[in-house]
Amino acid sequence: MSETSNNVCSESAISQYVFRPIESATTEVLKSSWMLRVVAWIQTLFFMQGIPKEYHPTAETILILFYIIILTVAWYFRSRGRRRMAHDLKRAEAQLTYLQEKLLAEKQDSKKTVRIFMDGAFDMMHYGHMNAFRLGRSLGTHLIVGVNSDESIIKCKGPPLMKDKERVSMVKACKFVDEVLPGCPYIMNEEYLNSVIDKYKVDYVIHGDDPCIVNGKDVYETAKKAGKYRSIPRTEGVSTTDIVGRMLLMTKDHHFPSNENEILGQTSRFLTTSHMLRLFSAGIKAPLPTMKVIYMDGAFDMFHCGHVALLQEARKLGDYLIVGIHSDVIVNRMQGQNLPLMNLHERILSVLGCRFVDDVLIDAPYHITSEMVDRLKISVVVRSTGAIDQISSTDEDRFSFPKEVGIIQTVLSPSDFNLASIIQRIHENQNIFEAKYERKIKAEQEYHNAKYGSENRK
């Protein structure tokens, strides 16, 4: 059938089902007795006013005028209703903001302290652990974190990658943590958990929403019976297992999906949102004019205790520390292999979670320019030396402007721990970590399927 025929059919259908019924109804109204009486009454008024007959309205004119009045009134009340709704919405938003500010103020002014307890191994601590701390602390005002001892971890699940002191230092450095309890057993019996609750006056014991069953028994049964247990959701898309897998396979295409059926070296599955960045940035304020601003940049890949020690030293040089984090492209160009192991957004969250950092510069310029120094009001540019895995030690030219104006300062890294230390530990125990990785990845897949499987989507 031609396009012309289609148009004719469409017009015929519109005429048949839309216009003809309206025309028929209008004709009936015009011929009705009440319309004839209305027309006669209006014409009589016009005649009494001395208006010539040719200007008297007909039935059709009166009906059209009636339709216009109805449509005008309807439009008026509809727009008035919308304006009222918009006004009410603005009032509600303003009231919500007021209540939120009032609630926050009451929480800050409240003398009651709500003490939260969490525990874990926190081996090779990452932003997923930090987010768990953030969520835990949001349920109270004071967060105590128990760090499992090397001895108890080895006994239950094999040797951890990081040592006691290294794991404790990372937890202490997290800005969401108020107090750390070292030497916590990996499996807490009822007696130990009760002693922690009594000694630290714990109001709630927190754990992730994945079950924690050991030898057929719920580790947190005691807290649940006492009504002191609360669960928090896991940070999806990141785990120590996933990061270990990236280090087990060192290839240059680490950040790109692979078509090969490999279990190791998977790309990051973390989905960064502005909401998550905002949560980690909560509390960040611009530096005051009187503050001495320090700037330090680098890769900060697989954020570790060496980074923490260096940032703590840098922070001592002034009042406000800005940390520049380089893009994946720059880091890979300077360090090669499959580095960075963590993508830019993952590295940003890790650094934002550190208590010694006041702000971060995302995708920091490689060369530190005069414009950058002026805009950020930088007083000191830190260049590190030592074994720390920073880009800043690889290229002197990019520090030419800070040198020229005399604001460069060298800080010796207080720790010889770096990313190479972690990779070396993994490769020294390659078989052990590969076996642990395969078991853990299977367990995590089962957890994901149980939570997000097709049956749960119905």
Tell me the pLDDT of the chain averaged across its residues.
Answer: 80
Q: How would residue 235 be classed by pLDDT, with cut points 50, 70 and 90?
A: confident
3-state helix, strand, coil in the chain (%, to 5): 55, 15, 35
- Domains of the chain in start order, with CATH, are 115-235 (3.40.50.620), 272-417 (3.40.50.620)
Say if residue 223's pLDDT is above 50.
Answer: yes
Q: How would residue 146 be classed by pLDDT, with cut points 50, 70 and 90?
A: very high
Instruction: Please report, for residues 87, 113, 134, 148, 177, the alpha-carbon distance to residue 142 in angstroms, rounded to integers and kept in the order given.
Output: 40, 7, 11, 20, 8
> pLDDT value at position 258?
44
Give the length of the chain.
458
The per-residue b/e assignment along 209-238, b for 16 or more CB within 10 angstroms, e otherwise, is eeeeeeeeeebbebbeeeebbbbbebbeeb
Phi, psi of 387 (to 5 degrees): -85, -5
What is the distance between the alpha carbons of residues 340 and 254, in angstroms, rounded to a whole number?
9
Q: Is the pLDDT higher at 91 or at 99?
A: 91
What is the distance between the alpha carbons of residues 372 and 365, in angstroms, rounded to a whole number?
9
DSSP 3-state of 209? coil
Q: How would residue 4 be classed by pLDDT, with cut points 50, 70 and 90?
A: very low
pTM greater than 0.75: no
**Of 109-113, 244-248, 415-419, 453-457, highest mean pLDDT:** 415-419
Say if residue 377's pLDDT is above 70.
Answer: yes
Say if residue 27's pLDDT is above 60.
Answer: yes
Say if residue 135's pLDDT is above 60.
Answer: yes
* Lowest mean pLDDT, pick from 67-71, 209-213, 362-366, 376-380: 209-213
Average pLDDT over residues 331-345: 87
Peptide bond into 182 cis (omega under 30): no
Q: Report helix angle 274-281 to 127-138, nearest 10.
A: 70
Average pLDDT over residues 199-212: 87
Asked whether 59 and 29 are in contact (CB, 8 A), the reply is no
| Cα distance between the two ends of the chain | 44
> pLDDT value at position 256?
46
Helix (H) / strand (E) element for 263: namely none
> pLDDT value at position 386?
62
What is the distance between the alpha carbons of residues 81 and 75, in angstroms, rounded to a whole number?
10
Q: How would residue 257 be classed by pLDDT, with cut points 50, 70 and 90?
A: very low
Q: Is the pLDDT higher at 378 or at 9?
A: 378
Contacts of 419 (CB under 8 A, 6+ apart): 301, 302, 304, 339, 341, 389
What is the distance between the alpha carbons of residues 178 and 184, in angstroms, rounded to a whole number?
16
